[in-house]
Structure 1
Amino acid sequence: MDQSPQFQMQYCRVCGKQMHQSAQYCPGCGAVQTPVSNTDKRILPAMLLCFFFGFLGVHRFYVGKVGTGILQLLTIGGFGIWALIDFIMIIAGAFTDKEGNKLTLWT
């Protein structure tokens, strides 16, 4: 079976029907398909690190973004604004790791 991106399939987590991996809803039962996290980083540690040490960029080091972590360290979290934006993005579920994978799991 060809596993190129256009042919990659997955199974519905509710009814088990086979569907394309990019499907957001199951064509069989209509259940919302939550994405599988491709990262081992979690939201809760990133959020706590950002809340307590955001001005030092520690949360960016945690997710592997060393370059921007150093920039936050040198600019005191972008004078607090950058750290605040990161904190909001972490809570909203829009924060990503160094490979661009969203942090989707809390613990």
Structure 2
Amino acid sequence: MKDIFDNPNFGDFKLNSRIVRTGLWESQNESQKNLSADIFLRYETLAKNNVGLITTELISMYSHDRFSDYSHSINSPLFIKDFKEVTSIVHQFNVPILAQVGFVNCNVNGKQMI
């Protein structure tokens, strides 16, 4: 019988459990600068409490894309620094983290087309 706390494989990843946590709402940080200490703590808490896999909030590939009012763009130097830290935190507990990356096509007038 399978249990929620089995150690299944997900591709090449060995998970700590069958629990997958998604959409941690990093963008609640209204300053759109660095991630807050609360967000880092949230990732650490999830990782050390037997979550099997964590996926991030949707991240834009292009700085003009917006999936929420405070979406992160992968092109921002602050993004790279903060998400390296998030990755280091969860990897301390052998938890894989996957980025949800999105792209919306913008035409020359700046209007988004899906």
TM-score under structure 2 length normalisation: 0.28
Q: Specify which structure has the higher proportion of helix.
A: 1
Q: Which has the higher contact order (CA 8 A, sep 6+)?
A: 2
Q: Between Structure 1 and Structure 2, whose CA radius of gyration is higher? A: 1
TM-score (norm 1): 0.29
